[in-house]
Amino acid sequence: MKIAIFGVGYVGLTSAACLLNDGHVVIGIDLNERKVDMMNMGESPIFEPGLDELLKAGVDDGRFSARSAIGEEMADVDVAIVCVGTPSGADGAHDMRYIAEVSHQVATAASDRAADRNPLTVVYRSTMRPGSMEKLIAPIFQRYHGDALERIELVYNPEFLRESTAIADYYAPPKIVIGTRNGKPSLMMEELYAKIEAPRFTVGYREAEITKFVDNSFHALKVAFANEIGRICIREGVSARTVHQIFVADTKLNISPYYLRPGGAFGGSCLPKDVRALTFLSNETGAETFVIDSILRSNEAHKRFIYEMAIKDVKPGARVLLNGLAFKSNSDDLRESPFVDLARRLLSGGYDLRIWDPQVEPASLLGHNLGYSFSHLPELKALLLRDIEDLEDEEPSVVIDARGDAHLLPFASLTIVPINVLA
């Protein structure tokens, strides 16, 4: 394939070198004349292990050239890859000027493509907010191509390259994410990545666009969290290195997808209690752990969010069935259960609430479990159904599903609001 790359920085130049290594013809386009001159001599303008060798090989066999502006070559290019920067603006949002400028240039140059050529695939790798492909980029191409826009395939393909290991990351990425207009596969992108083995996700634009935000924010969170734990350990005379080794050894829970699924708030007898205790320890020692300090506030905000989502289409006075009250399924532990808080909010909101949780038997609750449940939800006995069929004569308007099995309930038709998996 013949590929044009716009913006030849770390991402663009690594992509160019690897595509050359795969046997493609590549044109690098960058406004910086010095970078262009260096690349045309087979020299990498940035230091990245392995780039010089791959770039020089492409120049020597005539498959790579660089320039500062789009030329007539766009008429026979198969793929255009946009890797220009999206730096932070004054308000913290991405500055999309360079994306818009390059999009205008590509759209203009593509107007000269022959009608019998395959559609031009324009791939964006720059990080941008969800909606950018639909609201900014697609309208630019629509302006130049109108009803012939089917001659242009717009793709969003986030990159997962780390500086200093970029070439290795290109060939062994953690995943390949391809965003298309209808969420269907792109034949050109499938061909481009045919030799790379990695989990593949072909999705809509917005899901692909938000991927880097989620990944990078989580990476930042991990670093901040680890450093906060380190500060606490040091102030308490604990080996942070040893604590880290113990923590990462647990790949069943600590380093796993188990607690990373968007859904219900956390609760139970352990997590809230231990977070409070760690927050207290941090404040007492002066460790200043702002991430840890915010965990419980974030959890409370999520409880409010779940309530608002559950009743957004339900008028006060309507009958609501809360399917599940314990903090997790197959348990009768009500201590700090977010669903106890949800039940209280529903009652305060004027809803006719009933609760179904076959594992919860008020007469069997003991100790702190008993004390917590009746101090926070004294109406529990009256609200809890002994038999789900007691509601058959008056079906609920909505079922808020905390257990994940509301589809098994014996009602003719249900409006089910899931909690543990957000849509």
Which pLDDT score, from 0 to 100, does residue 343 have? Answer: 96
Helix (H) or strand (E) holding 211: helix 205-235
Residue 14 has which token pair? 């690594």
**Rounded distance, CA 345 to CA 336, Å?**
14
Neighbours of 48 (CB within 10 A): 18
Handedness of CA 84, 87, 90, 95 (dihedral sign): positive
Which residue is associated with the tokens 């910086």? 32
**Three-class secondary structure of residue 171 per DSSP:** helix
Contact 42, 60 (CB under 8 A): yes
**Rounded distance, CA 152 to CA 388, Å?**
56
At 66-108, the pLDDT tens digits run 999 887 778 889 999 999 988 887 777 888 999 999 999 999 9
At 331-348, the pLDDT tens digits run 889 989 999 999 999 999
**Rounded distance, CA 227 to CA 224, Å?**
5
Which pLDDT score, from 0 to 100, does residue 347 have? Answer: 97
Annotated active-site residue 233? The verdict is no
- Structure confidence at residue 423 as a pLDDT band (50, 70, 90): very low
Q: What is the pTM of this model?
A: 0.79
Domains parsed from the chain with CATH numbers: 2-205 (3.40.50.720), 305-418 (3.40.50.720)
**Three-class secondary structure of residue 353 per DSSP:** strand
Helix (H) or strand (E) holding 346: helix 338-348
Helix (H) or strand (E) holding 320: strand 319-323
Mean pLDDT, all residues of the chain? 89
Contact 82, 99 (CB under 8 A): yes
At 176-202, the pLDDT tens digits run 999 999 999 999 999 999 999 999 999
Q: Which of 18, 83, 233, 270 is catalytic?
A: 270
Contact 275, 300 (CB under 8 A): no
Contact 355, 322 (CB under 8 A): yes
**Rounded distance, CA 124 to CA 252, Å?**
36
The answer, yes or no, to whether residue 39 has pLDDT greater than 80, is: yes
